[in-house]
């Protein structure tokens, strides 16, 4: 069995992957994450997940490398990480009373033979109608400025939702474990 490597510096993805109780290493890939002209959100996350895994293939030549990338889509527009209070407030204000779909690209690269499984897992969040005061209280409490969509579903961000829908709630946090387990099984790693 090959060792696992997570091509990410995200503490959220590391925490999720640790739930599978498999030893793994992690390393931050260095790639250009810019969206290409006319590139769909789904194609973007699939491409970036695969590129992240490929970026570590030379360094980890006998491994299964997991790449993942995520974007949030509201009214057909891709939302990035807000990075600051002002942008986060604007994102949550725009999402109030609406639905945001999170697209998570997932790639599993076998660096021994170059085979790569790639998928895109959608997950939709239906937001409550939010007041400016609710948004402000939330942002001050959790400061989710490094999260696409400006919230942390694993924390207080859940209070912003009316409902959610999708096949794997973990994809909302950035690593769709259900699909990853299927990919690992195909690659010869059984969990549990």
User: Considering the entire predicted model, what is its pTM?
Assistant: 0.91
Rounded distance between C-alpha atoms, residue 147 and residue 23, angstroms: 26
Active site residue 69: yes
CATH class of 3-186: alpha beta
Name the DSSP letter for residue 85.
Answer: H
CB 127 within 8 A of CB 75: no
Active-site position among 32, 69, 75, 84: 69
Q: How far apart are the first and last CA of the chain?
A: 14
Q: What is the pLDDT along the chain (192 residues), one digit of tens a residue?
A: 469 999 999 898 999 999 999 999 999 999 999 899 999 999 999 999 999 999 999 999 999 999 999 999 999 999 888 999 999 999 999 999 999 999 999 999 999 999 999 999 999 999 999 999 999 999 999 999 988 889 988 889 999 999 999 999 999 988 999 999 999 999 999 998
Which regions of 8-115 does DSSP assign to beta strands (E)?
A: 24-27, 63-74, 77-79, 99-110
């Amino acid at each position: 069995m090959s060792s696992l490597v997570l091509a990410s510096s995200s503490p959220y993805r590391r925490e999720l992957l640790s739930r599978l109780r498999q030893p793994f290493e992690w390393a931050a890939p260095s790639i250009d994450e810019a969206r290409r002209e006319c590139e769909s959100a789904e194609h973007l996350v699939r491409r970036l997940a695969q590129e992240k895994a490929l970026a570590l293939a030379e360094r980890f030549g006998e491994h299964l490398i997991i790449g993942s990338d995520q974007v949030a889509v509201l009214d057909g527009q891709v939302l990035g990480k807000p990075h600051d209070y002002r942008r986060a407030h604007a994102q949550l204000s725009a999402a109030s009373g609406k639905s945001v779909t999170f697209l998570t690209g997932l790639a599993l690269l076998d660096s021994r033979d170059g085979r790569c499984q790639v998928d895109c897992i959608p997950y939709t969040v239906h937001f409550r109608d939010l007041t400016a005061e609710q948004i402000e209280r939330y942002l001050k409490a959790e400061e989710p400025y490094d999260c696409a969509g400006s919230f942390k579903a694993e924390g207080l961000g859940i209070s912003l939702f009316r409902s959610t829908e999708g096949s794997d709630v973990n994809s909302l946090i950035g690593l769709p474990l259900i699909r990853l387990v299927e990919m690992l099984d195909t690659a010869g790693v059984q969990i549990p």
